[in-house]
Structure 1
Amino acid sequence: MKNYVIEESTREEHGLVDKGIVEYNLSKVPFTQEPSFMSINRVIKGSNGDMLAGVNSILYCWNCLYIDVLWVRDGFRKEGYGSALLNEVEKIAKEKGCKLIHLDTFDFQAKDFYLKHGYEVFGVLDDCPLEHKRYYMKKNI
Structure 2
Amino acid sequence: MTGTDQQPVSASLRIDGKDAELEQRLDDELTAFNAAATGAGAPEPLSVRVTDAEGALVGGLTAWVWGSCCAVDMLWVRADQRHAGWGGKLLRAAEEEGARRGCTEVIVSSFTFQAPDFYRGQGYRETGRTEGIPGGHEDVHFHKVLAG
Q: Same fold (TM over 0.5)?
A: yes
- Matched with 2:25 is 16
CA distance in 2 between counterparts of 1:37 and 1:128 reads: 27
CA 5–130 in structure 1, closer or farther in 2 if over 3 Å, else same:
farther
Does residue 127 of structure 2 align to residue 122 of structure 1?
A: yes
Shift of 1:39: 1.6
Does residue 63 of structure 2 align to residue 54 of structure 1?
A: no
Runs of 4+ residues deviating >6 angstroms: none
AA of the residue aligned to 2:47: N
- Matched with 1:76 is 81
Task: Choose which of 131, 135, 141 in structure 1 pairs with 2:140.
Answer: 135
Identity of aligned residues (%): 23
- Matched with 2:12 is 5
AA of the residue aligned to 1:59: V
TM-score (normalizing by structure 2): 0.83
- Matched with 1:104 is 109
TM-score (normalizing by structure 1): 0.87
AA of the residue aligned to 1:29: T
AA of the residue aligned to 2:12: V
CA distance in 2 between counterparts of 1:100 and 1:58 reads: 12
User: What SS does structure 2 have at the residue aligned with 1:112?
Assistant: helix
Shift of 1:25: 1.9
User: What SS does structure 2 have at the residue aligned with 1:94?
Assistant: helix
- Work out which of the two has the higher radius of gyration on C-alpha atoms and give 1 or 2: 2
- Matched with 1:28 is 37
| Superposition RMSD in Å | 1.9
**1:35-69, Cα deviation, whole Å (9 max, x unpaired):** x3222111111122211111111112x23111011
- Report how many residues are paired: 137
